[in-house]
Amino acid sequence: MTTVNIHEAKTHLSRYIEQAAAGKEIIIAKAGKPIARLVPLESKVLPPRKLGLLAGRLKVPDNFDDPLPEDILDLFYNGPIFPSEVNPTSERR
């Protein structure tokens, strides 16, 4: 554990961040009194995902991969960018 004053911490911050990332704890002091601690972040280790968690619960339609209808494609390529741009009284394309 290393203790440094605020001025030194500001001057060499990147050096102390590298040391903290490597696992070293840095104490930052003001007038000799510790006020902050620079420590590495703990990496969050997630448990492995279970495969097939929703097996048998979802039904994918047979036409899932079929091309979209022309009217839907037209909305993608020629429709408004933001839904609020559509005039609610006008007829959709």
Domain ranges in the chain are 2-38
Give 2-38's CATH code, choosing from 3.90.550, 3.40.1620, 1.10.3470, 3.30.565: 3.40.1620
89: pLDDT strictly greater than 70: no
Q: How many CB atoms lie within 10 A of CB 71?
A: 9
Segment 28-73, tens digit of pLDDT? 999 999 999 999 988 778 889 899 989 999 999 999 999 999 999 9
Kindly state the percentage of the chain with pLDDT values over 70: 88
